[in-house]
Chain A
Amino acid sequence: MSRNSANGGANRSLPSRLRSRFEGPNTIGESRGFWVGFAVAVAVLVVYPVFGDGSQLSLFMVLALLGLSLSVVWGYSGVLSFGQVVFFGIGAYTFGVVSINYATPGGITAAVVAGIVGGGLSAAILGYFMFYGGVRDVYVTIITLVSTIVMHTFMAQTAGSEWAIGEAALGGFNGMPDIPLLTLGIEGASYQFIYNPFPMRVIGIGAFEISPFYYLVLLLLIGTYLGLRILVNSDYGRVMVAVREDEDRTEMFGYNVTRVKFVVFTLGGALAGLSGVLYAARNVYIDPTVFSLLFATLPVIWVSIGGRKSLLGAVVATLAVEYLRISMAGELALVLLGTLLLVTILVLPSGFVPWLHEQLVETRLGPGEAGGADAPDASSEVSD
Chain B
Amino acid sequence: MSDTETESEVDSLGPNVRQTAAELATGDRTETLLQTDGLVKQFGGFTATDDVDFSVAEGELRCLIGPNGAGKSTLLNLITGSYEASDGSIYYNGHDITDLDPHERVSRGISMKFQVPSVYGDLSVRENVRLPVQQFADGEERRRLVAEAIEAAGLTGYEDVDAGQLSHGQQQQLEIGMAAALEPDLLLLDEPVAGLDVAEREAIAERITRLNEEQGIAFVVIEHDTDFVASIAEEVTVLHNGEVFREGPIEEIESDPEVQRIYLGGES
Q: Which residues of A contact B (CB under 8 A)?
A: 1-4, 7-8, 25, 235, 238-239, 241-242, 245-246, 248-257, 371-372, 375-376, 381, 384
Contacts and interface: CB of A to CB of B under 8 A. Distances in A.
10 contacts: A2-B138, A3-B138, A25-B123, A238-B130, A241-B123, A245-B123, A248-B82, A253-B178, A371-B161, A384-B142
Interface residues of B, number: 34
A228 to B, nearest CB: 18
Contacts of A254: 103, 106-107, 132, 135, 182
Given A238-B130, A375-B124, A252 B142 contact: no
A8 B139 contact: yes
Contacts of B143: 8, 381, 384
Interface stretch (B41-49, B60-68, B113-121): B113-121
A255 B127 contact: no
A251 B134 contact: no
A238 B127 contact: yes
B193 interface: no
Contacts of A245: 120-123
B101 interface: yes
A2 B106 CA distance: 21
A252 B124 contact: no
A241 B120 CA distance: 9
A252 B112 contact: yes
A384 B138 CA distance: 6
A376 B112 contact: no
Contact of B80 (A252, A256, A257): A252
Contacts of B111: 252
B7 interface: no
Contact of B140 (A7, A25, A375): A7
Given A254-B107, A256-B101, A381-B143, A249 B135 contact: no
B139 A1 contact: no
A255 B103 CA distance: 5
Contacts of B142: 384
Interface of B: 80, 82, 101-103, 106-107, 111-112, 114, 118, 120-124, 126-127, 130-132, 134-135, 138-140, 142-143, 146, 160-161, 178-179, 182
Nearest to A259: B103
A251 B114 contact: no
B101 to A, nearest CB: 7
Contacts of A25: 123-124, 127
A384 B129 CA distance: 12
What 4 A-B pairs are tightest by C-beta distance, nearest first?
A: A375-B160, A254-B106, A4-B139, A7-B139
A2 B121 CA distance: 27
A253 B131 contact: yes
Given A4-B139, A252-B102, A242 B122 contact: no
B204 to A, nearest CB: 19
B114 A249 contact: yes
Given A239-B131, A246-B118, A254-B106, A376 B140 contact: no
A256 B107 CA distance: 10
Nearest to B130: A238
Contacts of A375: 124, 160
Given A1-B134, A245-B123, A384-B138, 9 more contacts: A245-B121, A248-B114, A248-B118, A249-B118, A251-B103, A253-B103, A253-B178, A256-B101, A256-B103
A201 B216 CA distance: 76
Contacts of B135: 1, 253-255
Contacts of A376: 124, 126-127, 160
B203 to A, nearest CB: 23
Nearest to A239: B131
Given A252-B106, A255-B103, A238 B124 contact: no
Contacts of A256: 101, 103
B103 A242 contact: no
Contacts of B114: 248-249, 252
Contacts of B123: 25, 241-242, 245
B229 to A, nearest CB: 24
Contacts of A2: 138
Contacts of B182: 253-254
